[in-house]
Amino acid sequence: MRFEFLIVYFQSDGVDINALLNDKLAEVLADNLNEFDEAQVGQFMIPHLTRPCESQTDANGISSTRTILGFYFDLPDETANADAVISDFCSILSDTPPIVHLVKFEDPLLLQKNQTYAVELFHLEMKLRRVLSIVYLNSYDVEYYELLRDEITQPLAKEYPTAEQMRKVSENEFFHLTFGQYVGLNNRALPSKVSEIVEYLRESPTFESFKTELERTPVSDEMDRDFLASLRDRLDPVEKLRNCIAHNRAVPPRIAQDYATAKPGLEAELNGFLQRFGIANNNAGGETQVGNPEQQ
């Protein structure tokens, strides 16, 4: 398992940064029940780049050079408590002069955790898109690649996806929204130009019909509206975790806990919606069922 770091430290006479790094790694390995001798630990640690920055002299006349050092170490796969080893190593180095800064990059343990989350998020978001597509395909009977045409919420892409682009990859506009945007659905985009208002008036036989049209939500089915409203409290924790995964960051414990709390409720909402329209639920009177009901 390879872990890669950059540190900033002050190099001066008497400072052996390689020995310091080896000592601290050996210390945290031993603290976490690993038995490696000094020679083995020395083979783990590989400094591979250095960049001296400015030099300075302190009040005591001691000269030092602020230096950037890149290094990595390869831990055996059987390393005990590897998570704790890395956490302790980062913590102890951050508090050890002459080191003043540390950043961790390559981390196979973080990658493994985030890959697990990424798979969960993939299935969760695909199910959410499937449900949203059912809701909006029920509301609109034409122009299926413009299901958001009445919505304030729109894809963030600089170039709006065309119908042909979406058709070629079997997607729709919901594939171009973020978790943060899903919660804003079913909010009508009102006309902003005088010409648009005039057009609405022209097409409305009475003022009441004009008013009704302006107050109309894109999704009018009551159960569908309630479902869309229920998403607002459930998607924020998913969005926060998704942002960490999308940008290859460690997930903070609070975000991980909020996600773990919200995910079962969201999945229950989605599954409940899909079950309403399951073949088994809608098949009555002994009609022929399509497929295996247990797999619906």
Q: Are the C-beta atoms of residues 136 and 143 closer than 8 Å to each other? A: no
Residue 72 has phi, psi (to 5 degrees) of: -140, 160
Characterize the bridge pairing of strands 2-11 and 63-74: antiparallel
Q: Where are the domains of the chain?
A: 2-106, 110-278
pTM as predicted:
0.80
- What element of type H or E holds 71? strand 63-74
pLDDT at 101: 95
Q: Which one, of 196, 225, 193, lies nearest residue 210 by Cα?
A: 196
What average pLDDT does range 103-111 have in this prediction? 95
**What is the pLDDT, as a whole number, of residue 37?**
85
Q: Which fold has domain 2-106?
A: Alpha-Beta Plaits (3.30.70)
Torsion angle of alpha carbons 241, 242, 248, 254, nearest 10°? 0
Mean predicted confidence (pLDDT) in 48-55: 92
pLDDT in tens, 166-201: 999 999 999 999 888 998 898 887 655 555 555 655
Query: To 5 degrees, how large is the angle CA 72–CA 73–CA 77?
Result: 140
Mean pLDDT, the chain, as a whole number? 86
Residues 239-244: what's their mean pLDDT? 94
Q: What is the dihedral of CA 254, 258, 261, 263, to 10 degrees?
A: -130
| pLDDT tens digits, 257-295 | 999 999 999 999 999 999 988 876 666 544 544 444 444
Using only the alpha carbons of the chain, give its radius of gyration.
Answer: 29
- Residue 94 binned pLDDT confidence (cut-offs 50, 70, 90): confident
